[in-house]
Each structure stands twice: as C-alpha cells, then as structure tokens.
Amino acid sequence: MADKIKKSEQAWRETLTDEQFHVCREKGTERAFSGAYWDTKTAGVYKCSACGEPLFSSQTKFDSGTGWPSFWKPMSPEAVETETDSSYGMTRTEVHCRRCGSHLGHVFPDGPQPTGMRYCINSLSLDLQADEAAEAGEK
C-alpha cells in the first residue's frame, strides 16, 4: 500500500467532482440503483476514485439486491479501514479508504460466504479499471 495521502478539503474539491466530493469527503450516499457500478459485470479492479488505491476485485463482487456495488471482501485487509457510524439514528460500520480516508460506504454481516460480509459501496467512491481481456471483449 502506498503512503497515506493528506490534502486540504480545498485540494480535494479541486480534484473531485461535486458528487464525488459529497460522497468521499462529506460521507454522503448516492441513491440506490443510480450509480455507475451497481449492476456492472465487467472484470477488473475497483480503485478509490479519490486516490487510485486498489480496493476491491470484480471477483468478489455480487448482486446484493441493494442497488449499490457489493463485495464480500476487499482486495487486501490493508485496503480499507472501518469505524463506527452512529448517524441517522442507527449504528453501522463505515468503510473508508485506508490511503486517503475517503468514505466508501458501509459493511454489514449479511453477505455471502466465505466471509459473510457485504461491503456496500458507493459507485462515486470507485473507479473501475477493467481487465485488458474484458476490454477487448467489449470492443
């Protein structure tokens, strides 16, 4: 994993779209079934849209029926960090990029085996780098 990135909020505003800034830096959430990747089947690596850190593999992506991209594990234990989120009158576990601290979404213990976890992630927090073979098949 690369070194942690520290930027001012103004620097983040200059590099992210308004929607990405809202989700990644202000812990916003995109509407269900509205993101670019909720139904994507393309093979590749999902990277942090803010810093480019590899976060999730398409091999661990599954259809959770929630309207957000869902994964049963991150690419490595070091890719993400979690913390308790007590907003909106409920307690959840927030997931953020370990490298830059961007909010990604939440993780729940109701996913498929082998982990039983569901990393429910905002598409705006992700940038899909498609495998070359997958890209060749789409042309």
pLDDT, one tens digit per residue, over 31-44 is 999 999 999 999 99
Residue 90: predicted pLDDT: 87
Tokens describing residue 74: 């991150």
pTM: 0.91
Catalytic residue among 24, 97, 100, 120: 120
Contact partners, residue 65, CB within 8 Å, separation at least 6:
none
Domains of the chain from N-terminus onward: 9-130 (2.170.150.20)
pLDDT, one tens digit per residue, over 45-95 is 999 999 999 999 999 999 999 999 999 999 998 999 999 988 888 899 999
User: Amino acid identity of 94?
Assistant: E
24 is a catalytic site residue: no
